[in-house]
Chain A
Amino acid sequence: MRIFPLLAVPLLASTAAPAQGPAMHVSGWARATVPGQTGSAAYLTIHNGERSGDRLVAVTTPAAAKASVHVTTTAGGVVRMRSAGAVPVGAGQMVEMKPGGLHVMLTGLESPLRVGEQLPLTLRFARVGTVRLAVPIRLQASDAGHHQH
């Protein structure tokens, strides 16, 4: 049974030490799973505050055997999911992953991702190197479903 570290603040180098480290701001969330389900997705918002463009080249997490950026496209009602390869993030630009588009595909989950827990992620960028963070685990993009008016 794996216990995810519950981190109040994402382990961003930039948040921890604003004067140093890369100005690569990452936030996001991961989709909850049920027992027995071995795959899920995480959605990240990456803001590159650096003066140079960069590329997200790899994602890893201790919770899944494999993490890879995939993109879903919809045409004529048919959805297709393909590997997205390295994701470019231009200088001063933001990449926003969303359901039905870019996402981090997680496969080989060792245990369910439970709502309220956090998923630790390690991102590797071509220029700034490693960025670590933990994202909240939710059922869907917003928790609007739980707060109906």
Chain B
Amino acid sequence: MPDTTSTSAPPAGLRRVRLIVWALVAVAALALAWLLLRPASQAGQLQSVSTGVAVGGPFTLTGADGRPFSSTQLAGKPYAVFFGFTHCPDVCPTTLARLAGLRQRLGQGEDAFQILFVSVDPERDTPEAVGKYAQLFNTPIIGLTGSRAQIDQMAKQHAIYQAKVPDAEAPDGYTMDHGATVLLFDRAGKFVATIAPEEGDPAALDKLKRIAA
């Protein structure tokens, strides 16, 4: 690259330094590309992850009442976990309404399985906010939030991708990209299956029957 600001060619040592800097830039760009492209493959790997490393496991978050909510409170109860955020106008209410509808179609009552809504946006989603949001669906849904560290850990142990993304038209100038896969756990807290966003209701119902109380 010609350098228009200098009158003479830079010394060889400086050129080498520049080469190294550009190489570092290239490595950083590749790393960024990998990070950006990763979620697609990450979700695809969920099945293999589930056979290798345990998906789920104990957690402590914050309930709608502002008090700690621990996975021990789900002991003996099957549950479905969905990650989202209350400023999510489209997919989150669609998925929660769908889960509520599927639970109704199972015909085993509201205790057939618990529905957990975990915020990936704890900066905005206060306990009160997730609690109110969970009431939208006219059926019991457990709204949960927590500290950023708690949410990160929760998402990690459920192989859920989450990323804050700038959006000038969204409230506070950002939106959240997030895994919309629903994870199903049996009454022993063991990971059983996932419901993908694109998956049809019959397949989803079959899976829910497997965990239902």
**Does chain A have a CB within 8 A of B111?**
no
- A20, CB-defined interface residue at 8 Å: no
User: Is B128's beta carbon under 8 Å from chain A?
Assistant: yes
B170, A148: Cβ atoms under 8 Å?
A: no
A18 at the interface (CB under 8 A from B): no
Measured between beta carbons, the chain A residues less than 8 angstroms from B171 are 38-39, 107-108
* Interface flag for B108 (CB, 8 Å): no
Residue picked from B42, B137, B169, B178, most chain A C-beta under 10 Å: B169
Q: Name B197's contact: one of A33, A34, A100 (CB within 8 Å).
A: A100
- B100 at the A interface (CB under 8 A): yes
B193 to chain A, nearest CB (A): 13
Q: How large is the interface on A (under 10, 10 to 19, 20 to 34, 35 or more residues)?
A: 35 or more
A99–B180 touching, CB < 8 Å? no
- A145 and B161 in contact (CB under 8 A), knowing A78-B178, A81-B90? no
Q: Which of B39, B87, B97, B128 contacts A78 (CB 8 A)?
A: B39
| A5 neighbours in B (Cβ, 8 Å) | none
Name which of A7-15, A64-72, A87-95, A119-127 contacts chain B: A64-72
What are the residues of chain A within 8 A of B94 when measuring CB–CB? 99-100, 140-141
B window 149-170: CB within 8 A of A: 161, 165, 167-170
**Cβ contact within 8 Å between B169 and A145:** no
Whole-angstrom CA separation of A75 from B177 in the bound complex: 11
Question: Distance (Å) between the CB of A76 and the closest chain B CB?
Answer: 3
> Which residue on chain A has the smallest CB distance to residue B40?
A76
Verify B88–A81 contact, CB threshold 8 A.
Answer: yes
Contact A99-B90, Cβ < 8 Å, known A77-B46, A80-B165, A82-B167: yes
Residue of A nearest to B180 (CB): A79
A1 beta carbon closer than 8 Å to chain B: no
Report, nearest first, the 6 A-B pairs whose CB atoms are least far apart: A76-B40, A77-B43, A41-B89, A99-B94, A76-B43, A77-B181
Q: Could you tell me which A residues sit within 8 Å of B by CB distance?
A: 31-41, 66, 68, 70, 72, 74-83, 99-100, 103, 105-108, 139-141, 144-145, 148
Residues of B within 8 A of A (CB): 39-44, 46, 86-91, 93-94, 97-98, 100-101, 104-105, 128-129, 132-133, 135-138, 161, 165, 167-171, 175, 177-181, 194, 196-198
Task: Return 6 A-B CB contacts under 8 Å, by A number.
Answer: A34-B133, A34-B135, A35-B132, A39-B171, A77-B44, A140-B98
